[in-house]
Amino acid sequence: MHIEVVGEGPPLVLVHGWGLHGGVFAPLVDRLSGRYQLHLPDLPGHGYSRDDATSLTLQACAAEILARTPPAAWLGWSLGGLFALHAASVSSQVRALALVAATPRFVRGQDWPHAVEPSVFEQFGRDLEQDYRGTLERFLALDTIGSEHARAELRTLKENLYARGEPAPQALQQGLALLEQSDLRTVLPELPIPSLWISGHRDRLVSPTAMREAAAMAPGSHYLDISGGGHAPFLGHADQVADEIRRFMDKTGRVGAT
């Protein structure tokens, strides 16, 4: 698994979302690498890890990243939030947790109404088999729709999508299955570390209400809703997100400092 390391200071691991790679965090790298040592994995089947044999499961990917990074705060965006949350639930090596546009469960259920229908991810899976590139681009549009900076964010995501090669179709299907099937709500009350939850108020994939409710389940949590943000608020509102991460890191005692 490819893991890029940038900057110096207390370590922070950043885990990307579906179909992309660590390069999507460039706005945060620009703003945080002067103060923190950033560890940016490309998940298996994505980016420079396209041919990596690690299974795209929460257990295997979290274990691999934990084995190759120091004790650190972890940040997960969208699908990456599931990996970060799982890692925090199984290892004391995760010293603090930040989730951006991510919840412990991405699909709707009787006791979890503020989420998308399971059929959304099922349909993307079927569409991938018929129109690989078109489906990826439609998903990127869904990432940005509603944001006050939607056009600029969509342009940035499209520029990133194939910058490190095409994501592997099998990994994309596995990622969709994780989004559809994962439910990590039970780990939240037992989280022994502080957590930061950042939502985009205009997000069409992850409801701010769901993020607020999830944050309320975790002791020591702090929730922030970015009023004009969509599903990728660290693109259109990079300064605000970076400032909040710095405050969180400082408040938690510059976790993982060496």
Burial label for 15, CB within 10 Å (0-12, 13-18, 19+), is: buried
Q: Are 198 and 224 in contact (CB under 8 A)?
A: yes
CA distances (Å), 7 to each of 23, 33, 49, 95, 238, in order?
15, 4, 21, 19, 18
Q: Is 231 a catalytic residue?
A: yes
Q: Which one of the listed residues 78, 89, 195, 207 is annotated catalytic?
A: 78
Q: Longest Cα pair distance anywhere in the chain, in angstroms?
A: 49
Q: Which one of the listed residues 16, 86, 149, 231 is annotated catalytic?
A: 231
Q: Which one of the listed residues 143, 195, 203, 221 is annotated catalytic?
A: 203
**What does the radius of gyration of the chain's CA atoms come to, in whole angstroms?**
16
Rounded Cα distance between 258 and 230, Å, is: 35
19 Rama class: left (phi>0) / alpha (psi -120 to 50) / beta? left
Which residues does the annotation mark as catalytic?
Answer: 78, 203, 231
